[in-house]
Amino acid sequence: MQRRGLAASGQPPGEPGPGSAELWEQEMERLCASRVPVRALPYPMEDKRVIWWLRVPDGEQPSCWERWLRKRQMERRRLRDSVQRLARGFGLWEAALYEIGGLFGTGIQSYFTFLRFLLLLNLLTFLLTASFVLLPLVWLHPPVPGPALNLTLQCPGSDQPPAGLQRFHNQFWNILTGRAFNNTYLFYGAYRAGPETSSAYSVRLAYLLSPLFCLLLCFCGTLRRMVKGLPQKPFLGRGHRRALSTKVFSSWDFCIHVPEAAFLKKREISKEFKVELEEQQRFEQVQQQTGAQRAYHLLTYLRVNLLIGLLVAGAISAIFWATKYSQDNKEEELFLLLQYLPPGVIAMVNFLGPLLFVFLVQLENLPPNTEVNVILIWCVVLKLTSLGMFSFSLGQTVLCLGRNTTSCESYSYNACDYQCWENSVGEEFYKLSIFNFLLMVAFTFLVTLPRRLLVDRLSGQFWAWLDREEFLVPKNVLDIVAGQTVTWMGLFYCPLLPLLNTIFIFLTFYIKKYTLLKNSRTSPRLFRASSSTFFFQLVLLLGLLLAVLPLGYVVTSIHSSWDCGLFGAYSAPWQVVPELVALHLPLVGQRTLHYLSSNAFSFPLLLLLSLVLTACVSQAKANAQAIQELRKQLLWQVKDKWHLVEDLSRLLSKSGPIDSPEPESPRPRASRPRSFCPGFPCPGSPGPRSPWLGSSLGHPAGMHSHSPGPHGSPVPVCRFRYPSTVEP
């Protein structure tokens, strides 16, 4: 008790001694007996130190070992915090993302964050491919010659290009078409290895599983990011929206002292308020619609979608015939033009399609949210189906899909025109990736920049109507998703394509940032970062699915080229897996894998997954019910607190005059039920307290009471104060 007496002797100046000492003892007894961690107490740091010191039992001092451990823990915690702050400071584009978010809102910031995410995915994919394929291949020095192609078939014509074609094949055109890198590790044909043995590292297995593992890793990362950005409001409902007044009073960060940071924070809060008000206005408009208006909007919606569907079908047909014509006439004199005909048609379709979609949708006067959703959905369909049709047309030309087989196509591919067909397909994806990036650069500096210069320097009604280009986040996201889908589709044929795409994304970030800050105007349609992030990841997952399907078909069903690559001696690349299993695994392991791939394992696994899904659904329903009960309990706790305030005010008014007015309840007094325990805390509240003491840690600030003293004179009962509240 010596320490308590010393602590109690530290009286705040101007406070009566006996009342303060008595309150001090009571509070210290309660705090010392409580098991609440000091860190969780709502007190200043100085008061927490006093409470922690008082909780140590009398006569007990921590040993040297305990003090040393506590000191090391504090040092490790401080070091971890410093490392995290340093990592955030050196993070890629952190300052640029903060500036964009403050100036243009979190919706546009989410696009640049999405660029950084794709950059990390491509860099990780390249590192995995280099670690498991390139480095072992260079270290093992495999034999260069491979199996020769035995062309004993009747092939029409000669496979030699015309002599006049050589003048077009300078080094620049070869770089654009990818033929300059045919003998490098950029394409599939340069990867060669000797026969499989029981001891050597299997480069074939690594080359086969690396794309599949990279796609699986990208799927997990995208799914995790999509779940993290999943908007919670559709699941909570309209009845649990946070009030706008909460954002008004809790949005500001009082740690900001720099004027530039304060300006960015003000802009960010302003964007959030605009988004909130726009969502509320849209909801009210939907609620005010009549049945006839809803039926009219439904018919209009169907008519618009029918017209757009016909346009998409025409665009897909144009891509198919352009790819077929380019492959059938690839050795003509107009070599470069024909080589870039499919990418050019795809780019034209993806450029004109969204413009026509916007024009058709705006003619029908749809609601703003329906208009945006229709445009976005059809843009996604157009971009992904165009890539799908491009892949199918390549398969029909190179792999003879859907065509009558002839003597030249007995190996499941066109052996006369495409002796190393993997390189030819890889060149197509390489050209498509190069063309998309060059088109983005050309459009930025040859269209957007001159448009901004003309609009800023010339005056007139036409230039005021033209204005700067609008920075549309969904359109830019769809463009970058289309480029990433091309990279995933060409991962097997062009293993180093992720490195090329990493460079393109790195340059795209700065080009788009320049376009946003200098050449463009922001869209008046604001949206949340959470909903946009979810949409971006959903589109990315669709692109990943589009890349996995043709890759799985090629790996499991198509014969590889005979004169290049790693799988020329196999009927399909996947056949190397059973061979290596027979070489490296013992008989028990082989039987285990055979059982895992059989129906005897599939049916129990399906039954187990059904039980797990049932348990998850049941748990989700139980959680939803518990959440509803907790919300009701929270409302009752708020009502109980107002009952306690009323009872306390009534008792204080009976004992004497009060210094401060009675707090007003948000609801009328007559509309609230009476307390079952007037003057005392309700069951479940922390510890019994004497309401006539007038002040404790739970009482409102500024509330004092006067209790009668020994001679009938009112003696003010003072509130307890910690050392941090003592005025100097």
Nearest-5° Cα angle at 414, 409 to 417: 135
The pLDDT confidence band at residue 674, using thresholds 50, 70 and 90, is very low
What DSSP line would sit under 653-719, residue for residue? HHHS--SSPPPPPSS-GGGSPPPSSTTSPPTTSSS---GGG---TTSPTT--EEEE-TTS-EEEEPP
pLDDT at residue 675, as a whole number = 38
Identify the residue with better confidence: 664 or 227: 227
The pLDDT confidence band at residue 216, using thresholds 50, 70 and 90, is very high
Which region among 189-193, 241-245, 484-488 has the lowest average model confidence (pLDDT)?
A: 241-245
The pLDDT confidence band at residue 610, using thresholds 50, 70 and 90, is very high
Mean pLDDT of the region 655-659 = 57
Euclidean distance between CA atoms 343 and 428, whole angstroms = 9
Mean pLDDT of the region 174-186 = 84
> In terms of C-beta density within 10 A (0-12 exposed, 13-18 middle, 19 or more buried), how is residue 38 classed?
middle
Q: In sequence order, what E strands does 500-559 have?
A: 520-522
Euclidean distance between CA atoms 93 and 639, whole angstroms = 48
pLDDT in tens, 100-138: 887 877 778 888 988 999 999 999 999 999 999 988 888
pLDDT at residue 167, as a whole number = 47
Query: What average pLDDT does the chain have?
Result: 75
Beta bridge partners of 520: 469
The pLDDT confidence band at residue 63, using thresholds 50, 70 and 90, is confident
Residue partners of 485: CB distance under 8 A and separation at least 6 = 384, 387, 543, 544, 546, 547
Q: Which helix (H) or strand (E) holds 295?
A: helix 291-328
pLDDT at residue 687, as a whole number = 42
- Determine the 3-state secondary structure of 451 from DSSP: helix
The answer to whether the CB of 214 falls within 8 A of the CB of 232 is: no
Specify the amino acid at residue 75. Answer: E
Which region among 22-36, 437-451, 668-682 has the lowest average model confidence (pLDDT)?
A: 668-682
Task: Give the residue among 564, 583, 574, 579 at the shortest CA–CA distance from 193.
Answer: 564
Mean pLDDT of the region 206-226 = 90
Is the dihedral angle over the CA atoms 458, 461, 463, 464 positive or is it negative?
A: positive
pLDDT at residue 74, as a whole number = 80
